[in-house]
Amino acid sequence: MSEEPISDATKSLAGLKLGEGTATDGVPDDFTYEPTPSELNELLTENGMIVPQVVDDLASESPVVRLRALIRIQRRLQDTSVNPTVRAIIDSNLVRVIVDFLTYNDIRFQERAASAAANIAAGTSEQTEAAVAAGAIQKIMGLHPFSSAVLQRGALYALGNIAADSGNLRDRVLREKGMEPVLDVLTKLDDNVHEESIVAPATRALSAYLKRWHPGRYFPSEFINIEQCVLILAKLIRSRQSATSTDSSETLENSVISLSRICEKGHLAEVLDTGILPQLVSLCNSTNPIVQRFSLRSLGFFAADTEALTDAVINAGLLPNLITCITSENKNTRELACWTASNVVAGTAKQAQAIVDIGVIQPVVNLLSDSTEDMLVRKEACWVLTNLVVACIKHPAQDWSESLYEEGFIMALCKALVIEDNLIRRNAVSSLRQILDSARSKVEDRVLGDNSEQGKWARAVEVVRAAEGPARLRVVRDTAPSRGTGSGKSAHDLLMSYFPDYSRRARV
């Protein structure tokens, strides 16, 4: 049986005088409606369109019928178990119909329309653009200041989702003063004016703004100065670091994400002045992977900067928690932890010693040696070992220098030679070269000879051989992506110096 064509609800709705009903023909004050699961499941046709009856109901002369249809769509959009629905709304030409309900002179229509607009804008760029083209920003701002917490929550999520989509939409939200409702919330934290259900989407919108933030690039449209922003975020993190509710957890997540984006842009002094570093260190042990990861990311930018700022995070207690992050079950956290550790190692002799003292070498060796580990994690792990080698050469006579000649350390670098990433291969070749050269130089520097040093050098060479290092160096030299690059030449030089029997091309 063929389906009836879906009517053009936009045209039908355009002829109605929205919001101009009397008390008798409006929606009763005691009206309630919650769609059943079957009503939600049956909202779409087999062809992925909104069912004709609902499309017609949205254009009904009865406000009650219209509201029921709107609620049904809005609840379906909220139910992730039966999404995606946005495509069906777009294909059924209903985006503008839904957004237009924001102008209806009934808070119940406005609340549902704001929620639906937020979920439409949370989709793909095409779907976000559809919400904007329907006038979502202007119509939402036309309701500001918002007359209910439910409407405010939906509006803040919609504005945040639009701003998060692209740089162009972020700037459009700014131009149309779409961040003013965000500031209204975030600048009144001390007054406890807003519930957590409102603070959470406000921090989401701030995070979206900072996602594509380029200091100075959009100066005329900046809506908040960086010092004020940092103070707000520090206050939010301190007050919610033990968050348990869904909304407060979301606020904490958005806050640490936002702070990491500010740190990424180099505003470390402003963050340091708030005294928030100990709280960020504590959050590196959070069971919430988002909070843990982005707290660590902020601290990582300090470790990647000056010696003084690296000392600041060390003094805040970062290093003991770094081991927890390196062994985390979350690969993104492991990657960030190795990146942070490598930057600390690249600092002063005292900073490198502090990293070694917490026992970082073995877990990093394990990560680099694990062929099932994520490539980005192994890359950062290789950087830790590479920087340890450089630090040992740069700061000789360190207590931990003997670690470089241990079997596990050398074998991990040999295993890294077969990873199909030119940067990892380059670092592994460079580190092996420096280890072998350093061991040999210690022998040559002793006129009378030193059996312990000779044994160390011979042992290092033997470990490389046992780990198939020469054969793997030949692979680096002769195959892509290293062939003909600096890595390939370095591998050849290393073979010629220590393993000349492998310097010729392998027989096929």
Interior angle at CA 348, CA 270 and CA 269, nearest 5? 5
How many CB atoms neighbour CB 429 within 10 A?
28
Q: Are 400 and 356 within 8 A, CB to CB?
A: yes
CA distance 114 to 59: 18
Q: What is the pLDDT of residue 450?
A: 54
CA distance 504 to 120: 62
| Peptide bond between residue 470 and the one before it cis (omega within 30 degrees of 0) | no
Mean pLDDT per 10-residue interval, the chain, length 508 residues: 34 38 67 95 93 97 97 90 79 97 97 97 94 98 96 98 93 91 91 89 93 57 76 96 91 97 94 98 95 97 97 97 95 97 94 92 96 96 95 75 84 94 93 89 54 71 93 88 74 93 72
Q: Are 342 and 304 within 8 A, CB to CB?
A: no
CA distance 12 to 55: 10
Helix (H) or strand (E) holding 188: none
Helix (H) or strand (E) holding 339: helix 331-345
Q: What is the pLDDT of residue 230?
A: 95
Q: What is the pLDDT of residue 397?
A: 65
pLDDT of 403-428, one tens digit each?
Answer: 788 889 999 999 999 998 889 999 99
pTM: 0.86
CA distance 419 to 158: 44
Q: What is the pLDDT of residue 181?
A: 95
Q: What is the pLDDT of residue 506?
A: 61
Q: What is the pLDDT of residue 92?
A: 96
pLDDT of 94-121, one tens digit each?
Answer: 999 999 999 999 999 999 999 999 999 9
